[in-house]
Chain A
Amino acid sequence: MTHYSLGDEPSDRFLDRFRLDERFPHILCPGCGIGTAMATLVRTLQELGRDPTKLCVVSGIGCSSRVPGYLDCDTFHTLHGRSLAAATGVKLARPDLEVIVFGGDGDTLAIGGNHFIHAARRNLDLNVFVINNRTYGMTGGQYSPTTPTHDIAATAPWGNCERDFDICFMARAAGAMFVARSTTYHVAHLKKMMKLTLTKTGFSVLEIVSQCPTLYGRHQRIGDGVAMLKWMKEKSVDVGKVKDPWGESERFVIGVLHDREEVLPYTKLYQQVREKAAGEQR
């Protein structure tokens, strides 16, 4: 079996444990950032010493949602927008499993927006990685809830007249315990943020700003994958260097944006319900 390397040295053996080589080559376009995010996730899991038999990665539908299909652990490719609802079921049934949700901005915030809000509100102990490529990649570059106003998309040929969401702001408002942002340019930073997300208890969200040169970069005339990486580098600013991390609309504020004192996650609270129910007649 050919060993395909994800931007690493071919001798990079530590990727093997979480990745299914026989599923390669993958479906992603040249220059796409999703592969970088996937490789970084695999490396993070490896470094954290996570057990692939105690891990379930759940996704919806979209390019980003194809990632679980390349991972060697329990993987759950559900319906478009429904990853968080399905992950809720997995986590409630098996609270001992680590559950990761991986998906695109459309999947998580448009069709899945309601599930996102309520999973955050319930404080389920889930790790949610949202690839924000500002477009619907899988269906050909239509505008998404994170496409900025005036941008061009396949369904906004005259410019997008809608306003875009700030994924992190929304996650915090809905009750997430931990919220961070990184990009596929800042790979070391991305790994650090992934580690933090995975070690936090409760609903944790990491927005991963990523490049879609084929459908977003081309429409915006930013250029190919490399040009888009440079563009992300220039547009990013560390959270420590801005006055108000929530007030930036032109730049990507990267780093930990919200890290609140932990409250009991849903599964623990429901365990209390069970104990109460077992002891009382009603």
Chain B
Amino acid sequence: MTPQLLSGNEACAIGGLRAGVRFFAGYPITPSTEIAEYLARELPRVGGTYIQMEDEIGSICCISGATAAGLKAMTATSGPGFSLMQEGIGYSVMAELPCVIVNVMRGGPATGSPTRSAQADVMQARHGTHGDHPMVVVCPWSVRECFDLMVMAVNTSERLRMPVVVLTDEIVGHMRERVELPKTPETWRPANPKRPPETYEHYGDETNYDSRIASFGEGYRIHLTGLVHRHDGFPSDDPEVIKWNLDRLHRKVRDNESWLWDLTFEDLGADTVIVCYGSTARSALAAKRQFERKTGRTVGFLRLRMVWPFPLRRLVSLLRSTRRVIVPEMNMGQLNRSVERAVSPDVPVIPVLRYDGEMLTPEEIIDAL
């Protein structure tokens, strides 16, 4: 392994590739295009496919076709494109098709500030598509972590048979760091479908995520639909089936929360804890260090690598003795509301917000400490 100087976007592309992604469909948009450009060059070299679709709606639907036919697939986009993808993301949730969507966040709404950074899609990533649905969203803060969480996203989406969003931003996407990336990261290697085509039911397996589901062209003759469906995949509007289907989608995530939740922390014994994610966590860590050096007082630091499903129960126990919480975000206040639910009402949760496209500085966070 030789160290390389890479951007977060390149690391996302490499992470996908090394986790086994062999299909990319996308539409160019700043600040995510380097991911598409990297994969347009590298995918055909390994027998994979890159296709530039006519828009992001087409991209996400094209991906659902490729995954239904058995490939690991991903796309990369930013705000406006992410908005266009929402219906297709819901389809992948409903039909239980894996895929990874990288959203390199920029300022919004609408065309917003294409070349500026923001963390304003945290809520959209969770609730963007209609209907009750679970969502898995990871949020890297460094180039190396773009790679690691990309691998984790591919594995998780395959295992839980659902889309996973990798939420980065213009800062993380364009920042360059010296990294050494593993050539062959650990990937999920499932067993083949447990039953032969004659008795196979596409959604028959209730709790077990160790085998894969059948793909098109394997002789199983499966039916996939975005309608509420029964165990065998065929549509139904029977109230019992509707409830079973929705419960099933949510149960997959709920049952696996304990290994899904992913966060790092230090000094949680301190009175004040900074809860942060993504690029702002870099400023938050710098703020902690500078503040401690200057005042001699310790500040707690908790960084979410996975923002959804929100690790509420873990935060409740980790923040038991905390007297004050600071939540820095590059938006008008999105994740701080969820953090509020993890502490008792007398513990102030203080948002430190910046939404002018510039990075939140350590000084701004120190001011709140």
Interface positions of A (Cβ within 8 A of B): 23, 52-54, 56, 58, 61, 68-69, 72-79, 82, 85-94, 96-97, 114-115, 117-118, 270, 273-274, 276-278, 282
Contact = CB atoms under 8 A, between A and B. Distances in A.
A274 B45 contact: yes
A147 to B, nearest CB: 24
A54 B224 CA distance: 16
Given A88-B65, A94-B69, A118-B58, A52 B216 contact: no
Given A74-B216, A77-B223, A273-B44, A90 B58 contact: no
Contacts, number: 137
B53 A118 contact: yes
Interface string B47-89: 1010101110111011111111111010000000000000110
Contacts of A85: 53, 57-59, 61-62, 65
A73 B220 CA distance: 8
Interface in B226-240: 226-227, 234-235
Contacts of B69: 56, 89-90, 93-94, 97
B308 interface: no
Given A77-B225, A85-B58, A114-B54, A90 B65 contact: yes
Contacts of A91: 65
Given A69-B225, A77-B226, A93 B88 contact: no
Interface size class of B (residues with CB under 8 A): 35 or more
Contact of B216 (A97, A270, A276): A97
Nearest to A267: B49
A89 B24 CA distance: 10
Contact of B88 (A54, A56, A74, A79): A79
Interface of B: 23, 25, 41, 44-45, 47, 49, 51, 53-55, 57-59, 61-71, 73, 87-88, 91, 216-227, 234-235
A115 B223 CA distance: 22
Contacts of B70: 93-94
Nearest to B216: A74
A76 B65 contact: yes
A25 to B, nearest CB: 14
A53 B225 contact: no
A94 B51 CA distance: 14
Contacts of B64: 78, 86, 89
A117 B54 CA distance: 9
In the A-B complex, list the 10 residue pairs whose CB atoms are closest, starting with the nearest.
A89-B65, A93-B69, A85-B61, A89-B66, A277-B44, A77-B225, A85-B58, A82-B61, A86-B65, A89-B62
Nearest to B71: A93
B294 to A, nearest CB: 50
A63 to B, nearest CB: 14
A77 B65 contact: no
A239 to B, nearest CB: 31
Contacts of B59: 85
B216 A76 contact: yes
Contacts of B234: 23, 69
B47 A86 contact: no
A227 B226 CA distance: 35
A276 B47 CA distance: 11
B319 to A, nearest CB: 41
A275 to B, nearest CB: 8
A120 to B, nearest CB: 11
Contacts of B54: 114-115, 117-118
Contacts of A61: 226
Given A114-B55, A118-B53, A82 B88 contact: yes
A77 B227 CA distance: 9
B44 A278 contact: yes
Contacts of A270: 44, 49
B17 to A, nearest CB: 13
Given A56-B217, A82-B88, 20 more contacts: A53-B219, A69-B223, A73-B221, A74-B222, A75-B222, A76-B68, A77-B223, A85-B57, A88-B65, A89-B61, A89-B63, A89-B64, A90-B65, A90-B216, A93-B66, A97-B216, A115-B61, A118-B53, A274-B45, A278-B45
Contact of B223 (A75, A79, A93, A277): A75
12 contacts: A77-B227, A82-B57, A82-B58, A86-B61, A86-B65, A88-B51, A89-B62, A90-B65, A91-B65, A94-B70, A94-B216, A114-B55
